[in-house]
């Protein structure tokens, strides 16, 4: 996987969400690099990373592990948060702490989970992505930023970073959507024993606040910080308070 490493201090691996690349983290990563050695990765088939085969979560975790130092912290956003949970579950001794941003343990609603996306809505979006990626992603960006502060500027930046660049692999997008629909991490949360910071926007239209509260209730050593007015991308819309929460968490757990 394409990886960029910079900064000095505690190793911090940043995992982006579905359909994006590490560029979504750039401003945040630069702000955190003063006290952290930042690992920015592009997931396979996205950004500048090539496809891998088989395209599976297990194989992606192996790729991340190949670049990770002995003791790391991980910050994952959305799908990246789910990958962070699974990485910690598989490589338990290597992870010092987790930061889960706009993360849900179960993305799609089912018989005993109502804090996700309806299956029909998810299926319609999946079809539109595979048919017309640019149009679908523009709608996806808009959905993530409904009610966001500085929405127009953030949308312009997202379009510049992603829609005007090389498109992700359609195969990677499709496989990533399968990860979201097939995986349910609820039963794995109580196994997490390390410190966990959960960051959530109270206006997130994709990940309801109830999903973040569920994480907080079921992860033993976790703390939930709700960012007022933030949507699905709090590190772009509310960068100052986001950086403050992350920095305080990293400092507390460095003692």
Over the stretch 46-82, which tens digit does the pLDDT of each residue have?
Answer: 988 999 999 999 999 999 999 987 789 999 999 999 9
Q: What is the 3-state secondary structure (H, E, C) of 22-44?
A: HHHHHHHHHHHCCCEEEEEECCC
pTM of the model: 0.94
Over the stretch 206-247, which tens digit does the pLDDT of each residue have?
Answer: 899 999 999 999 999 999 999 999 989 999 889 999 999 999
Over the stretch 118-161, which tens digit does the pLDDT of each residue have?
Answer: 888 888 888 887 778 778 778 788 777 777 777 888 888 888 87
> What is the distance between the alpha carbons of residues 143 and 84, in angstroms, rounded to a whole number?
24
Query: Hey, is 196 helix, strand or coil?
Result: strand
Q: Write out the H or E segment, with its range, that includes residue 170.
A: helix 170-182
Calculate helix-pair angle for 133-144, 151-158, nearest 10 degrees: 150
Predicted local distance difference test score (pLDDT) of residue 105: 96
Burial of 83 (0-12, 13-18, 19+ CB in 10 A): buried
Q: Write out the H or E segment, with its range, that includes residue 5.
A: strand 3-6
Side-by-side strand order, sheet with 10-15? 3-6, 36-41, 10-15, 72-77, 95-101, 196-201, 222-227
Predicted local distance difference test score (pLDDT) of residue 104: 96
Dihedral sign computed on CA atoms, order 145, 102, 17, 67:
positive
Confidence check: pLDDT of 164 > 70: no
What backbone torsions phi and psi does residue 6 show, to the nearest 5 degrees? -160, 165
Over the stretch 191-212, which tens digit does the pLDDT of each residue have?
Answer: 999 999 999 999 898 899 999 9
Q: Which residues are catalytic?
A: 78, 204, 232
> What is the distance between the alpha carbons of residues 59 and 51, in angstroms, rounded to a whole number?
11
DSSP letters along 134-164, please? HHHHHHHHHHHTTT-TTHHHHHHHHIIIIIT
């Amino acid at each position: 996987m394409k990886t960029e490493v910079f900064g000095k201090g505690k190793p911090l691996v940043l995992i982006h969400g579905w359909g994006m690349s590490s560029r979504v983290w750039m401003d945040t990563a630069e702000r955190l690099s003063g006290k952290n050695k930042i690992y920015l990765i592009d997931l396979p088939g996205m950004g500048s990373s090539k496809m891998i085969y088989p395209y599976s979560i297990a194989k992606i975790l192996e790729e991340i592990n190949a670049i990770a130092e002995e003791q790391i912290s991980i910050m994952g956003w959305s799908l990246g948060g789910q990958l962070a949970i699974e990485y910690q579950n598989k490589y338990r001794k290597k992870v010092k702490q987790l930061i889960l941003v706009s993360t849900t343990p179960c993305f799609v609603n089912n018989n005993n989970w109502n804090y996700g996306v309806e299956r029909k809505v998810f299926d319609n979006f999946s079809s539109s992505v595979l048919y017309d990626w640019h149009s679908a992603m523009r709608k996806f960006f808009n959905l993530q930023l409904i009610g966001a502060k500085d929405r127009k500027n953030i949308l312009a930046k997202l379009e510049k970073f992603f829609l005007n660049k090389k498109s992700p692999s359609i195969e990677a997008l499709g496989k990533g959507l399968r990860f979201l629909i097939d995986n349910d991490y609820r039963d794995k949360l109580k196994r997490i024993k390390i410190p966990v910071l959960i960051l959530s926007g109270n206006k997130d239209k994709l990940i309801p606040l109830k999903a973040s509260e569920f994480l907080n209730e079921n992860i033993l050593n976790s703390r939930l910080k709700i960012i007022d007015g933030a949507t699905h991308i709090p590190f772009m819309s509310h960068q100052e308070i986001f950086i403050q929460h992350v920095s305080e968490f990293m400092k507390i757990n460095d003692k």
